[in-house]
Amino acid sequence: MRYQTVDTIKGTRSNHSFVPINETQLLVSRVSDSITTFIATLGNKTLPLTFQNEEYAACCTYGINWWIGKIVEYYDEYSDYKIMFMHPHGPNASYTWPKPLDVCWIPYEHIMKILSAPSTNTRRTDKITPEENNCIELLFKNFKVD
């Protein structure tokens, strides 16, 4: 009953640590000792990414690494994206789909860039250009979620 009068804050569903900053903002992280945090604001409007079936996302996940993955689903209520990750994490010269698949929901705020599908020389290995790797590295180095 008490939850009926509470507003949800988009982008915080998959997190477990919430520290109040003021009446409208929270410092949010996946776990309490995480070094990656972001500020969630009550009433903050986020625009969903537009994507097609063959697009990929480079996203900041699991603290200190960035990953390339395919967006497979979008959950509107929380502005989360279900990502199927390639391995290893970046930066790397080539990426593969692991077995079993590595799939996780990612908040909108943690998606840094939409990429076109990596090129493939074989059915097992995909590559992105060194320029794209460098671009993502620069984005990741300056990555902040407000």
Model confidence pLDDT, tens digit, residues 55-80: 566 676 566 889 998 888 888 788 78
Read off the pLDDT band of 45 (50, 70, 90).
very low
**Predicted confidence (pLDDT) per residue in 113-140, tens digit:** 877 666 776 667 888 888 888 888 888 8
Residue 51 CB-density burial (10 A; 0-12 exposed, 13-18 middle, 19+ buried)? middle
- The pTM of this model reads 0.62
* Whether the predicted pLDDT of 100 surpasses 80: yes
Domain ranges of the chain: 1-47, 55-142
| Measured distance CA(141)–CA(31) in Å, rounded | 21
